């Protein structure tokens, strides 16, 4: 719950992302430790548990993008990419 509140408010974002990554390591562990629980047919046949774990991988990806903005980072288009 603290992770969700931290992401919603944007306060203590570094600590929030650290907690998120720590929690997601445990969530992703079955991909390596218990692959028979995650896959029916590798790599396309996911079980319900596997779908949940892959969804969490997407959350990790979005947290990495969000983490890039913690210190004031932002996306800047390359010169010549903007059409006016």
Residue in this structure with the two tokens 């969804």, named with its chain if needed: 55
Distances (CA, A) of 47 to 13, 33, 53, 82: 33, 15, 10, 43
With b for 16 or more beta-carbon neighbours within 10 A and e for fewer, the 14-27 pattern comes to eebbeebeeebeee
As a whole-number percent, the residues of the chain with pLDDT over 90 amount to 18
Q: Write the pLDDT tens digit of every residue in 30-66.
A: 988 999 999 998 878 999 999 999 998 898 888 888 8
Assess whether pLDDT exceeds 60 at residue 84.
no
Domain positions in the chain are 2-67
* pTM of the complete model: 0.65
């Amino acid at each position: 719950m603290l992770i969700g509140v931290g992401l919603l408010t944007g306060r203590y974002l570094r600590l929030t992302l650290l907690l998120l990554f720590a929690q997601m390591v445990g969530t992703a562990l079955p991909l390596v430790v218990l692959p028979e629980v995650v896959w029916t047919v590798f790599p396309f046949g996911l079980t319900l548990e596997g779908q949940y774990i892959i969804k969490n991988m997407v959350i990790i990806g979005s947290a990495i993008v969000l983490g890039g903005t913690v210190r004031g980072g932002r996306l800047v288009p390359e010169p010549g990419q903007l059409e006016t």
